Amino acid sequence: MTETTPEFTRQWINLAQPRLGAEIVSCSDDFFAECSRMLNPEPPQFIVGKFDDNGKWMDGWETRRRRNGGYDHAIVKLGLAGEIKGVDIDTSHFTGNYAPAASLEACYSATAPDDDSDWQTLIPSASLQGDSHHYFAIDNTACFTHIRLNLYPDGGVARLRVHGRVVSDAAVLDKDALHNLAAVELGARAVACNDAHFGAVENLLNPGKGINMGDGWETRRRREPGYDWCIIELGHAGCIEGVVLDTAFFKGNYPDRCSIQAAKVGAGTTASIITQSQFWDELLPPQKLEMDCEHEFSGELQDVGSVTHLRINIFPDGGLSRVRILGKIDA
């Protein structure tokens, strides 16, 4: 376990997001607080004086006090199958009622798993503290669909985040069809950005339309020369035939212009990719943007061949809601 916020929380998406389809399959008990709250993407909150029929309302999963031995557990279906890189077991606001210890198991199953499923231990029983984040890096390259969180013996967890890499099999995808290569469902991910003061860059890859201005990538107001940028790794290498840039909900704070650079990247670190990206070929020359509008580009695109990464530049700053990159996957 690490105490400071680790890199995996920024490098990999949360596979346990309800938006991606994550859900609670079963739990042993959630008398005080519904287990599904543990997957809420919003930060946990504490509301003084809020009670329900069973006691103090808590923003997380909380079981009753065990008097008969045993332990509590919950099975979560991940939104997307993938490799688990790290886990955050968050007990924020749980002080005298947190679980003293927890463990985590995972399995791959096409149906709802049970005790006979092939569960692998990712986190052996580990002590927890109240009102704290508990970060665990995972060294396992297997693909998983479900996790089981065990609480010893009972208590509460505010949030569970399961960060990982989506596993997308190119062999099952139609090579002649256009795909959104920037879809998180295909394994696309945000690699880096220079600023994300008001909105996380990974929001650009979320499925569906944005739900509000907070559901996008937004930088602070730039008070010095320059421009803002982000780097996206596509889910699969391919040739790009269309780009959609959506500024939905961004009205007084959308970028004035945008351009895109692209490259086929081999091995490299995040730092080396950031440096190299300055010199990538221009896929989309600078284009004017409008507020609260879905912009489609095709004829404006330059032929740069097959690519794996994009650098999206916004001038000078502002916010984008979604990015869709339409292309054919390499045969």
Confidence class of residue 57 from pLDDT cuts 50, 70 and 90? very high
Confidence class of residue 1 from pLDDT cuts 50, 70 and 90? low
- 94: nearest Cα among 136, 56, 50: 56
pTM score, two decimals?
0.91
For 204, the 3-state DSSP assignment is helix
State mean pLDDT over 4-22. Answer: 94
State mean pLDDT over 114-143. Answer: 96
Q: Could you read off the pLDDT of 85-113 as tens digits, one per residue? A: 999 999 999 999 999 999 999 999 999 99
Q: Could you read off the pLDDT of 168-217 as tens digits, one per residue? A: 998 889 999 999 999 999 999 999 999 999 999 999 999 999 999 999 99
- What domains lie within the chain, and their CATH numbers? 8-166 (2.60.120.260), 170-329 (2.60.120.260)
Q: How far apart are CA 314 and CA 328, in angstroms?
A: 25
Q: How far apart are CA 246 and CA 244, in angstroms?
A: 6
Q: How far apart are CA 245 and CA 326, in angstroms?
A: 11
Question: Does pLDDT of 331 surpass 80?
Answer: no
State mean pLDDT over 226-239. Answer: 98
Confidence class of residue 115 from pLDDT cuts 50, 70 and 90? confident
DSSP assigned state of 5: P
Evaluate the omega torsion of the peptide bond into residue 255 and state whether it is cis, within 30 degrees of 0.
no
Question: Quick one: tokens of 296?
Answer: 């489609």
Q: How far apart are CA 180 and CA 205, in angstroms?
A: 10
Q: What is the pLDDT of residue 60?
A: 98
Question: Which ranges in 195-297 belong to alpha helices (H)?
Answer: 270-277
Q: Could you read off the pLDDT of 268-285 as tens digits, one per residue? A: 899 999 999 999 999 999
